[in-house]
């Protein structure tokens, strides 16, 4: 991807910068500018490390020849976002002698970012984490906002911490090597921003669907920047999800249950969120909050983006419901869902009756 550099600031108690543009992984001055000490540790996966890890290390060393650099490469895939792999990263940090002023670089997609961000949150009670997202989903969503976590067999992201990154450097030229399925997964989270609070953005996505699927540079850069602006504004106002940040979970209660029930080896996160958003729209309809036209509009757009919109066959609704009872938004008043009054008007709804959820799951 070519094009100009864009920047989004995330304010609040621990402000940081999101830089978006081509060439950032080779930009030694920008990478080294975020270092505090003399230790750097790169976490990546077996797909991404061979393409980019040496380039990042060379770029850092070109500015800081004295830098001590450690590295850990994990197996790729959501099924690897485990406590075991978290422990392996911690072990690698210890063996490499990384000190309190070390900087961990999370080089990869959402799994690497979430897992290694959690390791950065825990190692010596917290070291700097710089997110270097290499997938669209990580660029538009998971690298921003400081949610870090690993999955358990019982549920997605159940163990984690809020640990805002020191910086997010999204090198858009890495998208050239992104498999189409991963591109589409990222587009699901882009659609989410329009669905929750920006109807005109949804119109824009509609108008640029073909360009986005064709990886048009300008369309992708615009989608990434606008998504990051939305996310930055929300996490700045509500960093710890006491209120409006929960809206970013549209489609995730259904989606996480789906990923969990499939053992993290079925639909990927973006695909599960696409299905989940349609189910959330249907739930809203069933509860009398929104109109069928809104559901159809969302469904049609996601289908145009070649994302799934229906539950895969053979899933047990009761098992899905059991996963949802362990969703992090659930409280004493029962299940909480992000529903909408229509396109661009999402809200948190506590105490959602389980029979309504089951009816939606049963179609």
Ligand X SMILES: O=C(O)C(=O)C[C@@H](O)[C@H](O)[C@H](O)COP(=O)(O)O
Taking CB under 6 A as the rule, which mask of x and - marks residues 124-163 in contact with ligand X?
-----------------xx--x-x-x-------x------
3-state secondary structure of 363: coil
CB atoms within 10 A of CB 168: 28
Pick the stretch among 30-38, 115-123, 204-212, 240-248 that binds ligand X (CB under 6 A).
240-248
Q: Is 36 a catalytic residue?
A: no
Task: By CB under 6 A, name the one of 174, 249, 290, 295 that touches ligand X.
Answer: 249
Whole-angstrom distance, CA of residue 265 vs CA of residue 358 = 23
In the complex, least distance from residue 252 CB atom to ligand X, rounded to whole angstroms: 5
Q: Binding site for Zn(2+): what residues are annotated?
A: 189, 252, 269
Whole-angstrom distance, CA of residue 146 vs CA of residue 113 = 10
Virtual CA dihedral for 317, 318, 324, 326, nearest 10 degrees?
-150
Instruction: Please calculate the CA angle 134-96-132 and round it to the nearest 5 degrees.
Output: 15
Task: By CB under 6 A, name the one of 129, 221, 248, 311 that touches ligand X.
Answer: 248
Identify which of residues 31 and 140 has a Cβ nearer to ligand X in the complex.
140
Write out the binding residues for ligand X, residues 25-44 only, by CB under 6 A: none
3-state secondary structure of 7: strand
For residue 264, is it left (φ>0), alpha (ψ between -120 and 50) or beta?
left
Identify which of residues 20 and 196 has a Cβ nearer to ligand X in the complex.
196
Q: Which of 226, 252, 282, 299 is catalytic?
A: 252
Q: Is 269 a catalytic residue?
A: yes
Within the chain, residue ranges assigned H as helices are: 28-33, 49-63, 83-95, 110-122, 136-137, 180-197, 199-207, 209-213, 217-237, 252-261, 269-286, 292-304, 317-325, 354-362
Q: Is 329 a catalytic residue?
A: no
In the complex, least distance from residue 61 CB atom to ligand X, rounded to whole angstroms: 33
In the complex, least distance from residue 330 CB atom to ligand X, rounded to whole angstroms: 11
- Distance, CA of 62 to chain centre: 31
3-state secondary structure of 176: helix
DSSP secondary-structure letter at 24?
G
Q: Residues touching ligand X: how many (CB under 6 A)?
A: 13
Under 8 Å CB-to-CB from 321, ≥6 apart: which residues? 257, 354, 357, 358, 361
Task: By CB under 6 A, name the one of 226, 252, 297, 336 that touches ligand X.
Answer: 252
Cβ(178)–Cβ(135) below 8 Å? yes
Q: Which of 47, 85, 157, 249 is catalytic?
A: 249
Q: Is 147 a catalytic residue?
A: yes
Using CB under 6 A as the binding rule, whether residue 297 contacts ligand X is answered as no
Task: By CB under 6 A, name the one of 81, 163, 184, 245 that touches ligand X.
Answer: 245
Write out the binding residues for ligand X, residues 48-87 only, by CB under 6 A: none
Pick the stretch among 12-20, 62-70, 167-175, 243-251 that binds ligand X (CB under 6 A).
243-251
Q: Is 85 a catalytic residue?
A: no
In the complex, least distance from residue 241 CB atom to ligand X, rounded to whole angstroms: 6
> How distant, in Å, are the alpha carbons of 144, 174, 257, 290, 318 from that of 170?
10, 9, 29, 36, 40
Q: State the residue number with the nearest CB to ligand X.
A: 157
Taking CB under 6 A as the rule, which mask of x and - marks residues 308-347 in contact with ligand X?
--------------------x-------------------
Cβ(116)–Cβ(130) below 8 Å? no
Q: Is 163 a catalytic residue?
A: no
Write out the binding residues for ligand X, residues 157-216 only, by CB under 6 A: 157, 189
Q: Is 252 a catalytic residue?
A: yes
Residue 216: burial class (beta carbons within 10 Å; 0-12, 13-18, 19+): middle
Q: Which of 81, 147, 163, 282 is catalytic?
A: 147
Catalytic residues: 125, 147, 189, 231, 241, 245, 249, 252, 256, 269
- Which residues contribute to the site for ligand X (CB under 6 A)? 141-142, 145, 147, 149, 157, 189, 241, 245, 248-249, 252, 328
């Amino acid at each position: 991807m070519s094009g100009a550099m864009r920047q989004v600031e995330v304010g609040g108690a621990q402000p940081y910068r999101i830089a978006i543009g081509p060439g950032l992984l080779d930009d030694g001055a920008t990478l080294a500018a975020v270092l505090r000490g003399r230790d750097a540790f790169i976490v990546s996966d077996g797909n991404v490390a061979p393409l980019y890890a040496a380039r990042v290390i060379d770029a850092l060393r070109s500015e800081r020849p004295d830098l001590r650099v450690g590295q850990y490469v994990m197996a790729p895939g959501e099924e690897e976002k485990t406590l075991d792999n978290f422990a392996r990263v911690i072990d690698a940090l210890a063996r490499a002698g990384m000190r309190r002023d070390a900087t961990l670089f999370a080089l990869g997609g959402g799994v690497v970012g979430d897992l290694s961000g959690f390791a950065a949150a825990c190692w010596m009670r917290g070291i700097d984490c710089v997110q270097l997202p290499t997938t669209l989903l990580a660029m538009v969503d998971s690298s921003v906002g400081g949610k870090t976590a690993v999955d358990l067999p019982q549920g997605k992201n159940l163990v984690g911490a809020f640990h805002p990154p020191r910086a997010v450097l999204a090198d858009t030229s890495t998208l050239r090597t992104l498999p189409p399925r991963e591109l589409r997964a990222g587009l699901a989270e882009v659609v989410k921003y329009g669905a929750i609070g920006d109807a005109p953005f949804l119109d824009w996505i509609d108008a640029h669907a073909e360009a986005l699927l064709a990886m048009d540079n300008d369309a992708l850069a615009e989608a990434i920047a606008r998504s990051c602006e939305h996310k930055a504004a929300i996490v700045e106002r509500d960093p710890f999800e006491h209120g409006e940040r929960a809206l970013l979970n549209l489609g995730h209660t259904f989606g996480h249950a789906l990923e969990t029930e499939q053992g993290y080896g079925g639909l990927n996160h973006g695909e599960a969120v696409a299905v989940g958003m349609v189910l959330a729209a249907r739930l809203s309809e069933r509860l009398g909050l929104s109109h069928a036209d809104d559901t159809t509009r969302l469904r049609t757009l996601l289908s145009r983006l070649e994302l799934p919109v229906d539950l895969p066959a053979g899933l047990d609704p009761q098992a899905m419901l059991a996963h949802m009872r362990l969703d992090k938004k659930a409280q004493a008043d029962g299940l909480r869902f992000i529903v909408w009054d229509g396109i661009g008007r999402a809200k948190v709804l506590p105490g959602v009756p389980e029979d309504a959820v089951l009816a939606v799951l049963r179609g």
